[in-house]
Amino acid sequence: DAGVTQSPTHLIKTRGQQVTLRCSPKSGHDTVSWYQQALGQGPQFIFQYYEEEERQRGNFPDRFSGHQFPNYSSELNVNALLLGDSALYLCASSPNAWHTEAFFGQGTRLTVV
């Protein structure tokens, strides 16, 4: 049983560019959350998707957008990249239930130059 998978593992982009990150949830999970983890910090909640809709959003600008597909996989899009967007982007999946553990993928390391 594959866990949460993310692609790509590493990415280098230039300021102003756009990026798309992908996530496949753990089998049986229908809820996907995205987190940004800067170096030396804890993960910060970006948003969560359930039933192909954004259910909740953290304090991130509109440059951050996402999508969930019928097979529950998800994408995170970031437009007009800034140097400060350099971070580890983590995808976490869970079943749609209150207060359950989150299963994290290995993350995508994004570097903006």
How many Cα atoms are found within 13 Å in the side-chain-facing hemisphere of 101?
A: 3
Long-range pairs of 58-64 with CB within 8 A, sequence gap ≥ 24: 60/36
- Of residues 90-109, which lie at the interface with another protein (CB under 8 A)? 90, 92, 99, 101-107
- Of residues 21-40, which lie at the interface with another protein (CB under 8 A)? 31, 33, 35, 40
CA–CA distance, 46 with 42 (Å, rounded to integer): 13
- Of residues 43-82, which lie at the interface with another protein (CB under 8 A)? 43-45, 48, 50, 55-56, 58
Q: What's the min distance (Å) between Cβ of 13 and another protein?
A: 21
Nearer to another protein, 6 or 78 (CB): 6
Q: What's the min distance (Å) between Cβ of 102 and another protein?
A: 6
Q: Which of 12, 24, 32 is nearest to 85 (CA)?
A: 12
Residue 55 carries which side chain, given as an amino acid letter?
R
Q: Which of 6, 15, 33 is nearest to 111 (CA)?
A: 15
Binding residues for another protein, rule: CB under 8 A, are 31, 33, 35, 40-45, 48, 50, 55-56, 58, 90, 92, 99, 101-107
